[in-house]
Amino acid sequence: MVPFKPRFNPWFNPWFKPWLLLSPKMAHDLAPIGLQALATFRKPTVYEWQPLEWQGLKFKNRLGTAGGVDKDGSLVRPWWTFGPGFLEIGTVTPQPQGPNEGRIIDRDLSARAVWNRMGFPGRGAEAVAENLRKLPREHLTPLFINIGKNRSTANENAERDYIECINHLAFAADAFVVNISSPNTSGLCDLFRTDVFKPFLGAIIDARNHQRTKLNGRRLPLLLKLSPDLLDEDLNRIIGVSGELGLDGWIATNTTLNRDEGSPFPAEGGVSGLPLAERSKKVLLKVLTAAQPYRKEKLIISAGGVMTPADVSERLAIGADLVQVYAALIYEGPKFFCLVARQMTQQASPNIQKSH
């Protein structure tokens, strides 16, 4: 007997979302225009619930955007009008590059899933720096910058790309996220290998440390984004090595190469959204255990399959310090931050607190 699987139909959704009637590619391409239009008449706002202070950064709430939502840092101001507690831009590469060839994005409405094989498309570090120079020096929320390598750069030289991004963007970053877990750049995850990982990450941490003199002693936290497809022994090794080197935290997780039975997506490319939820929660629990020796100092962020306000609450209850969303914004729109804030504050106060 085949288990009942409810179908998602936007025509009969009480919260009508017209963008889901567009093709995935068209919706993706028009999203920045739509976001900027919606933000035009809104004031910068941060919803306040469960605030957190970490390494001098103040998070008025614990929910932010994941990497991939704003690739070039051109949408920071519009996102600030919808109430997130922090933003992550990127993945940023040193040089501009286009997406991978062929189909690069799709979704499965019935499974509330998103698939992509974009491969770090973007305008490059210099263009991102120019966008970020337009922002006020005091950011409304912490700003994380997710950095990667160009696909033309060999793994033997990969750390140079990450260091170049740090050198270009340290002036605007509140923290950096090292991304070697995307399944959409060929060979990228090989940087997790035992013989490669420690010297690679050590060089990047050294480069971060050298920035302190240029930033008047300000220390930029450095986080590592983890793959949900790592074997347990590799995950434990990676947490141990990076913790000892002085990494400041981990994001669990990136998209997955795993496919549920009946998935309509091809084998290549990463899947996010609801099919990733259980896998991401399991990795979060493993990271919390492996990071226990460093827990007082490190930041742990949960991402992957966070689709409802209840999911946000669950990830925090499991032990995550912060939570990030991507697919939820595709299915629910930017009002998702308000929905979460309302749930988080409804018992404490009938009104959502705001900071302008």
The percent helix, strand, coil of the chain (3-state, each to 5) is 40, 20, 45
- Residue 323 phi/psi, 5-degree rounding, is -135, 145
For residue range 124-183, list pLDDT tens digits in order.
999 999 999 999 988 999 999 999 999 999 999 999 999 999 999 999 999 999 999 999
Per-residue confidence (pLDDT) for residue 20, from 0 to 100: 86
Dihedral pair phi/psi, residue 83, rounded to 5°: 95, 15
Segment (H or E) for 300: strand 299-303
Give the pLDDT confidence score for residue 6 in this predicted structure.
38
Q: Which residues are identified as catalytic?
A: 182
- Helix, strand or coil for residue 155? helix
- pLDDT of 2 over the 70 cut: no
Dihedral sign, Cα of residue 290, residue 296, residue 300, residue 306: positive
Total-model pTM: 0.91
Q: How many angstroms separate the CA atoms of 45 and 83, rounded?
A: 5
pLDDT band at 355 (very low <50, low <70, confident <90, very high): low
Q: What per-residue confidence (pLDDT) applies to 15?
A: 56
pLDDT of 68 higher than 50: yes
Q: Rounded mean pLDDT of 189-193?
A: 95
By the 8 A CB rule, do 77 and 44 touch?
A: yes
User: Is the Cα torsion angle 227, 230, 236, 240 positive or negative in sign?
Assistant: negative
Please give the Cα distance from 235 to 213 (Å, whole number): 33
